[in-house]
Structure 1
Amino acid sequence: MTSTSAEGAALYAQIRETIREEIASGVLKPGEKLLPEEELAVLLGASRMTIRRGILDLIDEGVLYRRRGVGTFVAHRHIERDHNRLVSYFDAALAEGFEPKMEVLSREVIGAKLMVARALGLRENEPIIWVRTLRLADGEPLSVHDEHVPYRLFPDLLEADLSTRQLWECLSDHGFSVKRAVQRVEARLAEEEMAQLLGVEEGAPILYKLRTVYSEDGTPLEFAICHNRGDRYSSTNTLTR
C-alpha cells in the first residue's frame, strides 16, 4: 500500500507537470496569472499545501514567478547566454528556438567619452561610430545594445545593414576577427528611457553589461553597453578550480 506521504508527493508532482504541460502547449501564456491556490485546490482535488509545493518547484525553475500581494504568473522564456563562449545573439536565439530580430535605433559618428575611449585605446573625443540596437526574441524586446567602434577602422559601418547582420560580421569584412571579450555584469534598475525601450516598468530589474571585444592581435574592436531585461535574460558561466 502506498503511504499517505508518498501519495502526496506523487500528487504534487502531477500538479507541477500538469501546469508545465499547459504552459508548453500554450494553454497558459507568458505573463498570464494562475488561479489562486484555493481555486486550484478545489479544481484539482488537492490540498492547498500540495498545490503550493508543485508551484514552488516551478518558481524555483524560473517557469513561474510570484509578485507579492498580486499572485503567481507564467514567466517568459529566457534567452540563456553561455558566456564561456563568444556566440552572436542571432546564433544563440536560433539555437534555443526563438525568432531573433534586431532594430537599429540610432547610428552616428560621435566623440568618444572617457569610458569608451579607455576601453578602445583611443583619445577622449576621438571619432567613433555609435550604434544603438534593440534586440527582440519572438517579437518581444529583450535588450538594448549601445555599441562603439573606432571610426578610423570601420568608416563605412555607417552604411552597413545591421538589421540582418551581426556587427561582428561587419568587423570581419575588414579583416578583424573577434577572438575574445572581457565583460562585467551587474544588476541595475531600469530608468525611464530604457524601461520604455524594453517594454518594462520603470525600476524593473535589468542586467547591465559592459563588454570590450578584441581581435586576435589584441586590437580593441568594440565596446558595448548592454541593458538586458531581467525577466527574459539569463547568463551561464562554467567555473573550475
Structure 2
Amino acid sequence: MSMQESSGVALWRQVADGIERGIADGRFAAGEKLPGEMEIAETYRVNRHTVRRALAALAERGLVRAERGSGTYVEAQRLAYPLRSRTRFSEIVGAEGHEPRGQLIEASSDLANRELARDLGLKTGAPLIRIEAVRFADRTPICVSTTWLSAERFPDAGSVFADVRSMTKLLAH
C-alpha cells in the first residue's frame, strides 16, 4: 500500500488513517498487538519515523497504547455515557452501536429507611424491592447498579428484571 505524497495529506496522517480503518473494520481487535514499526513501514512504504508519528497521533486519541519493550496495542473503545436526570442505559449503549444487556445479581426485599422513603416518595418502613444488576455493552461489563422500587407497585420486579434484563422494560411492564 503506497502513500500519496501529492494528496495534500501528511504521510503520517495517511498511515494513522489506515490503521484507524483497520481498527474500525475489525482487522485489529481491542487488546490486539499491532504489527511492529518496521512491518507497518514496509506495508505503507514509509520510514519508521512516519510510523512513529502516526502511532503517537493514534495514542493521543486513545485508540492505541504503546507498552515499552512489548509493542503497540489497540485500546478498547470508550463508551460515551453522559449522565442526566433520566439516563437510560439501553438507549445510550444502543446509540453507541453496542448491544445493551442487564444481568440480575440479586433481588431482595427490604424496608424503606428515612432517606429511601424520602427519595421514593414513600413512608418510612414501606416495603421495597432492591435489584442489584450488572450492565453490559456487548459482552463487556460496564457497571453494577442498585435500584430500589416500591414492592407494592412492583411486586414481581426481581423476576421481571431477570426476564427482560432492562430497567426501562421492567418499569413499563
Shared fold by TM > 0.5?
A: yes
- Normalized per residue, which structure has more helix? 2
When structure 1 is superposed on structure 2, of 132-141 and 15-24 the one drifting more is 132-141
What secondary structure sits across from 1:82 in the alignment?
A: coil
Cα distance in 1 for partners of 2:68, 2:126 equals 49
Give the aligned partner of residue 98 of structure 2: 98
Are positions 1:54 and 2:85 aligned together? Answer: no
What secondary structure sits across from 2:164 in the alignment?
A: coil
Identity, in percent, stands at 29
- Normalized per residue, which structure has more strand? 1
TM-score by length of 2: 0.73
Q: Report the AA paired with residue 35 of structure 1.
A: P
Give the aligned partner of residue 140 of structure 1: 140
Higher RCO (Cα < 8 Å, 6 or more apart): 1
Q: Report the AA paired with residue 71 of structure 1.
A: G
Q: Spell out the pairing of 1:119-198 with structure 2 (5 A cutoff).
A: 119-120=119-120, 127-164=127-164, 166-172=166-172
Q: Spell out the pairing of 1:65-76 with structure 2 (5 A cutoff).
A: 65-67=65-67, 70-76=70-76
Give the aligned partner of residue 83 of structure 2: 83
Cα offset for 1:18? 0.9
Cα offset for 1:68? 5.1
Unaligned runs of 5+ in 1: 174-241
Number of matched pairs: 169
TM-score by length of 1: 0.56
Give the aligned partner of residue 225 of structure 1: none
Cα distance in 1 for partners of 2:68, 2:118 equals 43
Quickly say closer, same or farther: Cα 1:10–1:168, change in 2 above 3 A: same
Give the aligned partner of residue 29 of structure 1: 29
Cα offset for 1:124? 7.7
What secondary structure sits across from 1:109 in the alignment?
A: strand
- Contact conserved, 2:12 with 2:51, CA < 8 A, in 1? yes
- Contact conserved, 1:103 with 1:163, CA < 8 A, in 2? no
Deviations 1:94-149 (A, max 9, x none): 22222222221211113557875675467887643221222222223222222222
What secondary structure sits across from 1:160 in the alignment?
A: helix
- Contact conserved, 1:102 with 1:163, CA < 8 A, in 2? no
- Contact conserved, 1:34 with 1:71, CA < 8 A, in 2? yes
